[in-house]
């Protein structure tokens, strides 16, 4: 009898030990069989997605201090990565289909990567990641080529910093709470150029950066996910209300002269109606730098702004990156609620 009880107790203890061992394995980060010496990261053509990945790149840098991190992105975004200390090399991703990727795929295959991550769900990015031959390949699903991934994280919509951090955690990286914006270097020349553009436009130091570019539900031809959201734009009435309290600096891929004319028409109507109070309230300047800023100048303008308002994900992600108050019009933000966000 005692022998049977003792045997059963031993079996229970053994089963419990196995259970704890399995739980520990599930909870533990990935253990690399060999030191990680070279890491490749692949990014979409979206400015917002690239900026959203910066905290994750910092986590990679901290977690694999001896590794060389090589990032692949579209050519217009390379200056941003070249000034970001979270990576060692910035390379251009070619556009077009599979044939245009062949030369880069061959180069990747012979470069000896130990780890590869794709922050893009696009097919081309995943093919490039697969071409590295890295034994560990992490990315987001759903994707048409998720079979190429060894580590998968579910994601929908534009990339957010939390999504990117979850991806690097899946391969054993541990964020240490460092501020990603401390890793982005804005040269004195770039900062001076941004300041001069603001001053030439007649904009005071206390200003809002307003993204006027609408986001549309679409996909890039190369398979990269485009930014999605409300297919609308900042309207004149919203700018009119915001300009009652702040100078506004408009940014985007192109200028919006018709939008400024509509705001002036609203101001003229207020004056014509003898609404002196209303007219004086909207005396703040509005300037349009649409189509005139590169990515580094845009970053500098965001850093010196009071906050960011609008739709375009790239500018809004810059606002979050610099820990500014951000009001997203695509989330139903009205001018009144935006003013509350900015302290009024």
**pLDDT tens track for 192-231:** 999 999 999 999 889 999 998 765 544 444 445 444 444 4
State the DSSP code for 252. Answer: S
Judge if 144 and 284 occupy the same domain: no
Judge if 322 and 204 occupy the same domain: yes
The pair of three-digit structure tokens given for residue 237, joined into one six-digit string: 């009435």
Domain membership flag for residue 90? yes
- Tens of pLDDT, residue by residue over 151-186, are 999 999 999 999 999 999 999 999 998 999 999 999
Judge if 206 and 333 occupy the same domain: yes
The pair of three-digit structure tokens given for residue 325, joined into one six-digit string: 């108050």
Judge if 222 and 336 occupy the same domain: yes
Long-range pairs of 258-265 with CB within 8 A, sequence gap ≥ 24: 259/212, 259/233, 259/234, 259/235, 259/288, 260/286, 260/288, 262/235, 262/236, 263/236, 263/239, 265/236
Judge if 211 and 269 occupy the same domain: yes
pTM here is: 0.83
Domain membership flag for residue 60? yes
Domain membership flag for residue 33? no
Of the three residues 138, 166, 183, the one that is the final residue of a domain is 183
Residue 23 phi, psi dihedral angles, 5° rounding: -60, -40
Domain membership flag for residue 29? no
Judge if 172 and 197 occupy the same domain: no
Between residues 10 and 85, which one has the greater pLDDT?
85
State the DSSP code for 326. Answer: E
Judge if 42 and 170 occupy the same domain: yes
State the DSSP code for 42. Answer: E
Judge if 196 and 110 occupy the same domain: no
The answer, yes or no, to whether residue 235 has pLDDT greater than 90, is: no
Structural domain span for residue 213: 188-341
Please name the residues in contact with 240: beta carbons below 8 A apart, sequence gap of 6 or more.
263, 266, 267, 282
The pair of three-digit structure tokens given for residue 29, joined into one six-digit string: 């980060």
CATH number for 262 = 3.40.50
Q: What's the confidence (pLDDT) of residue 220? A: 44
The Cα–Cα gap between 237 and 75 comes to 36
Q: How many domains does the chain have?
A: 2
């Amino acid at each position: 009898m005692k022998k049977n009880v003792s045997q059963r107790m031993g079996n229970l203890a053994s089963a419990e030990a196995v259970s704890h061992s399995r739980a520990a394995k599930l909870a533990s980060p990935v253990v690399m069989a060999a030191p990680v010496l070279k890491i490749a990261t692949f990014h979409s053509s979206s400015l917002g997605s690239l900026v959203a990945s910066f905290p994750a790149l910092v986590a990679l840098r901290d977690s694999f201090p001896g590794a060389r991190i090589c990032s692949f992105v579209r050519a217009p975004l390379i200056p941003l990565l070249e000034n970001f200390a979270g990576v060692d090399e910035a390379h251009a991703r070619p556009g077009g289909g599979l044939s245009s990727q062949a030369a880069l795929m061959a180069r990747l295959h012979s470069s000896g990567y130990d780890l590869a991550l794709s922050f893009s769900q696009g097919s081309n990015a995943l093919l490039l990641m697969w071409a590295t031959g890295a034994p560990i390949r992490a990315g987001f699903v759903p994707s048409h080529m998720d079979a190429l991934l060894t580590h998968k994280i579910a994601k929908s919509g534009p990339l957010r910093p939390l999504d990117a951090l979850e991806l690097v955690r899946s391969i054993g990286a541990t964020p240490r709470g460092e501020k990603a914006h401390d890793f982005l270097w804005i040269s004195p020349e770039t900062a001076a150029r941004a300041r001069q553009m603001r001053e030439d436009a007649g904009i005071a130091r206390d200003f809002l950066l307003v993204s006027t570019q609408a986001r549309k539900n679409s996909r890039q031809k190369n398979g990269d996910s485009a930014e999605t959201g409300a297919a609308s734009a900042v309207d004149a009435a919203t700018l009119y209300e915001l300009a009652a309290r702040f100078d506004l600096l408009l940014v985007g891929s192109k200028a919006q002269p018709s939008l400024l004319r509509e705001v002036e028409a609203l101001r003229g109507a207020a004056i014509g109606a003898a609404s002196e109070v209303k007219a004086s309230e909207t005396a703040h300047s509005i300037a349009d730098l649409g189509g005139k800023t590169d990515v580094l100048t845009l970053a500098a303008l965001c850093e010196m702004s009071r906050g960011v308002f609008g739709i375009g994900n790239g500018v809004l992600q810059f606002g979050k990156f610099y820990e500014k108050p951000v009001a997203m019009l695509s989330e139903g933000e009205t001018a009144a609620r935006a003013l509350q966000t900015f302290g009024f």
